[in-house]
Structures are given as C-alpha cells and as structure tokens.
Amino acid sequence: MTTRTLRRRRLLGSLGALACASVASTGVLAQASAAKKPFRIFHVMSFDSPWRWTDGQLAGFKEGLNEPEAQFRVFQMDVKRNSTSEAKERKGQEARAIIEAWQPDLVYTTDDDAQSFVTRHYANKPLPFVFSGVNREPKAHGLHEAANVTGVLEHEHFVESIRLLQAMVPSARRIAVISDSSPHWSPVIARIRASMAELPGTTLVAVDQVKTFDEFMRTMQAYPSLADGVVHLGIFALAGPDGKNVPYQKVQQWVVEHTRLPEVSFWIDRIHHGVLGSVTVSEREQGRAAGRLARAILVEGKRPDSLPVQPTVKGHPAISLARARQLGIPVKSSLLLSAEVVPMFEWEKPPR
C-alpha cells in the first residue's frame, strides 16, 4: 500500500467519524428539543372578547412573553353580563375547573373580578399567577402575601387627562365624577381625590356612584348647574328597567345625544363611543409588562414574589374629534398631532 493511499484512507476515516459525531449530536439536540414542551398559559378575562381592552392586554402579554410556541386557552368571565356575586362565583368555579383539568404552567388573569373569584383560591399554591388591568391593591383581593402571584396595576392618568381637557376647554375647572356602584372603583376615586392637589384652580364638586341607568341619566342632567366637566368611570353595571345591565355602548351614546358637558375617561374604547378626550391607560403596555413578568417566571426561573407589583406609567392621549365638533370645541392642531384622533362616533361607522 502506497503512502498516498494510506493517507487517503485515514482522511476518509476521520471524515466518517466526524459525520457520525455530527449525527449523534443532532440526535441529542432533537431529543432535547422534543423534551421541551411548549408552555401552557391559561388566560382568565374578567370581561369579554372582542373588546380592545381585553384583546389588547392579551396581545401585549404574548409580545412580552415572547414564546411563539406557547399554547393559550382563554376563559371569559363576562362580568358585564354576569354582574351579580352569584354569577361571578359561578364563572370563577368554571375557570377553576378548567385549571384543574388542563394543568397550565401559568395563569394570566386580567382585571379585578378574576382576582377575587379565581386567583385568590390559589394563593400560596405552586401554580404561578400573573395579572394586569387591576385597580385594587393585592391586599383587597387577599393576595398581598401570596408568594405565587405578581402582576401589573392599572392606575389611571387622571391629572394628565384633566390637563388635556383643560387644554381643549380652559373653563373646565369644576369637575364631577360619575360611576356605577362596583366596589373596584373605590380606590380609583380615592386616587382622584388625592391627585386634586396637582391641579391648582380645579375643584372636585361631585362624586356620584349610581346603581341604575335612570339614576345615571338624572345625575348627568343635573351636572350643568354645578360642573364644567365630567369624569366617567365605570358604566357597566347600570341596571335598566328590566333589571339587566344596560350595555355601556348605549349608555355612552345617550350621553352624547343628551348632554353638553365635555368629558374625560381613561380607556380608548370610551373615546370611540363619544368621550371627548383622555390620556388613556394603554392596554398593550399593561399586557406587555405582565408578559415580561411571566417570562421571568417561566424562562428565567424567578419567583413571582421576587417580582414587584407595579403600575404601568405610559399613557396614550386620545381625542374624539366627533364629540369636539358636536360641542363646538376648536381643538388645536398641536393637540391633534400628539394624540390618537377618533374622527367619528362608533355607531356612525358603516357596517363591515
């Protein structure tokens, strides 16, 4: 055998060994990849879908989690319709039954009712929970000492919204606040009262929590004698003559058609339904922040109680140009350029 032939055989042998090693390595990686199952996320909405507030939080959560293969299952409590304590408890039981059967890796809950009727039942158990869109502090839901729970608070941009209102209507110095009687608006009202010191020359002249749509209408019609502007909080739980809650879209349309006081609220869907303006709570930012917390737990291995519960701070200015025109309010171009502008009322849009 020549030296050249021997070298050729040695080279082929080396290449063969490398190929075998490569195949073996690929097999190990494939097994490891197959062994890593996608995360299972159970999402409990206090409200329902389709709705920009709930859908935007979920979309933001998926962005923050950044796990494209994750499996999601969504449960809607729909508390706008299931508004009694008995109905909420029934929906909470349904959600808890799914958790026990599906065995998710993490539960993502949005808004307050999901905390009271779902998350609270799992406090200090192994299953991690992350929330967003929550108005009340964790202690109000019995979660302040829960090692397996963290999340994102929804703190409204009240001062910024009033300043936006006054930029459009400088005379709006006497402010009234109206809401349904749901208990989760109490901390919002407390924060509004505390924030008044940041608005010199502005007075809070009324804070009303009403139970029925009839009471809401009477109260709104009395405001022009004492207020220059109105803050709308919850308008979901206003009982009609049949005892059922009047859809908030119909409540908002009545306001547009029967009142002339400029108003603010804190959510983008209200602008589409006729509220003049708001520095809105960004549902996308709420979800993104919650998704990042979930990633820290599932991917980075952090304990939920090591991740602080905080509100998001980024607001989103929005103006209803339709309401401004109806009220005869000229809006400066600088304000329009710095805000999301809604040109028409939602009910005036052509059907899709």
Residue 203: CA count within 13 A, CB half-sphere:
7
Do both 204 and 335 map to the same domain?
A: yes
What per-residue confidence (pLDDT) applies to 36?
76
Q: Closest by alpha carbon to 64, among 301, 297, 266?
A: 297
Q: Is 142 left (phi over 0), alpha (psi -120 to 50) or beta?
A: left
What's the CATH number where 239 sits? 3.40.50.2300
Question: Would 3 be classed as within a structural domain?
Answer: no
pLDDT digits (tens, 9 = 90+) for 261-297: 999 999 999 999 999 999 998 899 999 999 999 999 9
In a domain, residue 19? The reply is no
Q: Are residues 220 and 105 in the same domain?
A: no
Q: Per residue in 260-285, is it b (16+ CB within 10 Å) or e — as a string?
A: ebbbbbbbbbbbbbbbbbbbbbbbbb
Does residue 27 form part of some domain? no
Per-residue confidence (pLDDT) for residue 319, from 0 to 100: 97
The span from the CA of 140 to the CA of 182, in Å, is 14
* End-to-end Cα, the chain, rounded Å: 83
- Total Cβ atoms within 10 A of residue 68: 7
Residues in the chain: 352
Phi, psi values for residue 98, rounded to 5°: -65, -40
Q: Are residues 196 and 297 located together in one domain of the fold?
A: no
Asked whether 102 and 70 are in contact (CB, 8 A), the reply is: no
Residues 202 and 340 in one domain: yes
27 confidence band (pLDDT: 50, 70, 90): very low
pLDDT in the model for residue 314? 81
Q: Is 121 found in the same domain as 61? A: yes
143, 149 Cβ separation under 8 angstroms: yes
Q: Which helix (H) or strand (E) holds 189?
A: helix 186-195
Q: Return mean pLDDT, the chain.
A: 90
Q: Give the strands of the sheet with 277-281, arranged side by side.
A: 203-210, 174-180, 229-232, 263-264, 277-281, 315-320, 340-342
Question: Which DSSP letter does residue 47 get?
Answer: S
Q: Are residues 149 and 221 in the same domain?
A: no
Q: For the segment 320-337, what is each residue's pLDDT rounded down to a tens digit?
A: 999 999 999 999 999 999
Q: Which domain holds residue 67?
A: 40-155+283-311
Give the CA-trace dihedral at 164, 168, 172, 175, to 10 degrees.
-40
Q: In terms of domains, do 260 and 289 share one? A: no
How many C-beta neighbours within 10 Å does residue 38 have?
Answer: 11
Q: How many angstroms separate the Cα of 331 from the Cα of each of 64, 160, 170, 175, 323?
A: 36, 17, 11, 20, 11
- Six-digit token string for 174: 């006497």
Q: Which residue has the tokens 């808004």?
A: 111
Buried b or exposed e, range 188-215, using 16+ CB within 10 angstroms: bbeebeebeeebeebebebbbbbebbeb
- Is residue 88, in this structure, part of any structural domain at all? yes
- Asked if 302 and 269 sit in the same domain, the reply is no
User: 61 pLDDT exceeds 70?
Assistant: yes
Q: How far is CA 273 from CA 80, 150, 255, 268, 347, in A?
A: 17, 33, 10, 9, 8
Average pLDDT over residues 77-92: 93
The gap from C-alpha 82 to its chain's centroid, in whole angstroms, comes to 19
Domain annotation covers residue 17: no
Residue 329: CB atoms within 10 A of its CB come to 15
**Could you report the per-residue pLDDT of 216-228, keeping only the tens digit for each?**
999 999 999 999 9
Split into its structural domains, the chain has a count of 2
Position 35 scores a pLDDT of 55
- Tens digit of pLDDT for each residue in 106-164? 999 999 999 999 999 999 999 999 999 998 899 999 999 999 999 999 999 999 999 99
pLDDT at residue 22 greater than cutoff 70: no
Q: Same structural domain for residues 340 and 249? A: yes
pLDDT at 48 (0 to 100): 95
For residue 4, tell me if it sits in a domain.
Answer: no
> Which residues are 222's β-sheet partners?
none
123 in any annotated domain = yes
Q: Could you tell me which residue, 11 or 236, shows the higher pLDDT? A: 236
For the cut 80, the answer to whether the pLDDT of residue 318 exceeds it is yes
Determine, yes or no, domain membership for 275: yes
142 and 215 together in one domain? no
* Whole-model pTM over 0.85: no
212 and 330, same domain (yes or no): yes
Q: Are residues 80 and 165 located together in one domain of the fold? A: no
Beta strand extents in the chain (DSSP E only) = 40-45, 71-76, 106-110, 129-134, 149-153, 174-180, 203-210, 229-232, 263-264, 277-281, 310-311, 315-320, 340-342
